[in-house]
Amino acid sequence: MKTNVIRIKSDLTGKAEAMQEAERFAVYNGLTGKDAMHIRLLMEETVSLVDGIVKGFSGSFWLESEPTATGILCRICVAANVAVNDGQEEQLLGIATSGKNEDATGLLGKIRQIFRWTLQQTEAEAEVISGAVSPWYAMGMQRDFSEQDYWSLQQYSQQVRNQNESEAQDELEKSIIAKLADEVKVGIRSERAQVVIEKFIHNAIKAAQAR
């Protein structure tokens, strides 16, 4: 199941409609109580990613569900084309080269930074980004079967534990996304910048099949 696609902007225009889609998503999939609340909280965190990301930003928001043998895999998605206008390119490059990349705080701030970087339009700009990022960026890097690079919350969390990074561990413990999501993937160097937050709901399949 895929919800309607909602246009959402950096001033959070479209947030109310996105919330309504999340409510319909929960009802359709038979999600109630804590499960519905978790989806709602993750949806709010996802929408907040675009808050002030770049002036004039406009992206797409939607939710998907995929039934499995033991439950439902829910995905909350935000995406935007990388072909930003000249003014937005200047803003993005200014952020990438000013050292502000180092200032990303909290897990949500880090995910927002990666999403912003991915909006770069050219390979040259991508190289500027890759040369300016912090170690936490590399800690979450992954490559899937299609050879598409992406940043993974699971990979990042594992690296944090392996390296015993106390400050990063504290950030993860305080993060709503880290507590509730099973995975977060941020596409890198793609024609389309996209954040996908995944949440698996156990034993929800019976409720969904009854519909």
Question: 44 to each of 41, 165, 206, 209, how far by Cα in Å?
Answer: 5, 28, 26, 27
Q: What is the pLDDT of residue 73?
A: 96
Tokens for 115? 């999403």
- Three-state DSSP class for residue 205: helix
Mean pLDDT (the chain, rounded): 78
Q: What band does 72 get if pLDDT is binned at 50, 70 and 90?
A: very high
Q: For residue 58, is pLDDT > 70?
A: yes
Rg of the chain over Cα atoms, rounded to whole angstroms, equals: 17
Edge-to-edge strands, sheet with 58-67: 6-9, 58-67, 71-81, 192-202, 183-187, 149-152, 141-143
Q: For residue 166, is pLDDT > 80?
A: yes
Q: For residue 144, is pLDDT > 60?
A: no
DSSP string across 147-191: --EEEEHHHHHHHHHHHT-HHHHHHHHH-HHHHH-SEEEEE-SSS
CB 175 within 8 A of CB 108: yes
Find where tokens 């998605």 sit. Answer: 77
Q: Residue 47: left if φ>0, alpha if ψ -120 to 50, beta else—which one?
A: alpha
Q: What is the pLDDT of residues 2-39, one digit of tens each?
A: 999 999 988 899 999 999 999 999 999 999 999 999 99
Question: Mean pLDDT, to the nearest integer, of 170-195?
Answer: 86
- The size of the chain, in residues, is 211
Question: How much of the chain, in percent, has pLDDT values that exceed 70?
Answer: 70
Task: Give 52-55 contacts, CB < 8 A, sequence gap 24+.
Answer: 52/10, 53/10, 53/112, 53/115, 53/116, 53/119, 54/10, 54/84, 54/88, 54/91, 54/92, 54/116, 54/119, 55/10, 55/87, 55/88, 55/91
Q: What is the pLDDT of residues 79-138, one digit of tens each?
A: 987 655 445 545 544 544 444 444 467 888 888 888 877 776 454 455 445 544 555 555
Tell me the residue type at 185: K
Q: What is the pLDDT of residue 152?
A: 87
Q: What is the pLDDT of residue 100?
A: 44
Question: Mean pLDDT, to the nearest integer, of 193-210?
Answer: 76
